Structure 1
Amino acid sequence: MSELHRVTTDPAQCGGRPCLRGLRVRVSDVLGMLAAGATPGEILEDYPYLERGDITASLEYAARQLDYTVLRVA
């Protein structure tokens, strides 16, 4: 089941960057923590207002951003 419904954007919040559930936690913040080696459990411990689905949503959002059509000009 998709968790993308957790990703929100609001021009008045975090410069319109994708956030989680209207909180001031950007998708890029979660991705950065994961990339730096933090485990989902550590992130949830440090940010108790986040839920496991928020981490899944961040990863799903990133994966979908990278999945785009490539057109090749012959």
Structure 2
Amino acid sequence: MTLSGFPLIAADPAICGGRPIIVGTRMRISDILEMLAGGATTAEISADFPYVTEDDVRAALAFAATQSDHPIVLAAE
């Protein structure tokens, strides 16, 4: 099932435990984010994983950006 507003991102309980993935693959969004955080470029990711396009990597970033836009309430210490 693709996620609303993200046609390149899917989540299915039967695939990768329901974690968000690139449609038609088992590449988790978290895997892409970890590679980017480690210094990989969009082009390098696409070259290493030919089934993941540069548009897929950009979609993963866009999805992550929306997921991180939630308020976090911290208790006063």
TM-score normalised per structure 2: 0.82
Residue of structure 1 in register with 2:15 after alignment: 13
Name structure 2 gaps, 5 residues minimum.
Answer: none
Higher strand share: 2
Q: Over the residues paired in the alignment, what is the CA RMSD in angstroms?
A: 1.5
Matched, 1:64 2:74: no
- Please state how far the C-alpha of 1:69 moved relative to its aligned partner: 4.7
- Within the alignment, does 1:40 sit opposite 2:68 as a pair? no
1:55 and 1:22 map into 2 onto residues whose CA distance is 14
Structure 1, gaps ≥5 residues long: none
Q: Which has the higher helix share?
A: 1
The equivalent of 2:53 in structure 1 is 51
Which of 1 and 2 has higher RCO (CA within 8 Å, sep 6+)? 1
- CA separation in 1, counterparts of 2:24 and 2:49? 15
Q: Quote how far apart the aligned CAs of 1:34 are.
A: 0.2
Query: Secondary structure at 1:15's aligned position in 2?
Result: helix
Q: State TM-score, norm by structure 1.
A: 0.85
Which residue identity is paired with 1:34? L
Aligned residues: 69
Mapped to 2, the partners of 1:36 and 1:70 lie a distance apart of 25
CA distance in 1, matches of 2:48, 2:67: 26
